[in-house]
Amino acid sequence: MGTSLRRAAFAMGLLAAAVPAAQAQSGDVARGRDLFESRCGGCHSLDENRVGPALGTVVGRAAGKKADFAYSAALAAAGHVWTPDKLQAWLTDPEALVPGQAMGYRLSEAVDRRDVVAFLQSLAAGQPVR
Ligand code: HEC
């Protein structure tokens, strides 16, 4: 292999390595939507309350304050707003964020949390991928 070919191969390797890094920043919205359906959909929908409250407008909403849902006393008193960071913390370990809460579920994979939160953010931004 000549020097220039080796350089080109090296550059392509760098490019391939850069793509996942870029996705790690923003999250994969379409994958997040599929995960939402498969992992959250048993208890949540976007526009109606089920076992858990509707989540279509959760980004930017005060925690435990959707008027027509019966929250645990702990979540109703939590006092934070659902930012992407708070959602990450909640999905990592809801009980650590809000002791006494009632959601018995978490997403153990960081990539799954990132993509689900990216999907919820896309709804807040008015750019749903549905
Ligand atoms: C086994 C049922 C169940 C599953 C699965 C589940 N949740 Fe929940 N979720 C709940 C319940 C119940 C609550 C209300 C908790 C409380 O009142 O303490 C809740 C609350 C929430 C809240 C707080 C909303 C608010 O209005 O304050 C968010 C955010 C949330 N869930 C996100 C998710 C996401 C994202 C997933 C999928 C990764 C998921 N949940 C999976 C049952 C579930």
User: Is 66's C-beta closer than 6 angstroms to any atom of ligand 1?
Assistant: yes
Atom of ligand 1 nearest to the CA of 100: 18
Enter the tokens of residue 34: 């599929």
Atom of ligand 1 nearest to the CA of 75: 18
pLDDT above 70 as % of the chain: 78
For residue range 53-110, what is the model confidence (pLDDT) as tens digits? 999 999 999 999 999 999 999 999 999 999 999 999 999 999 999 999 999 999 999 9
Q: Which residue is closest in CA terms to ligand 1's atom 33?
A: 40
Amino acid letter at 38? S
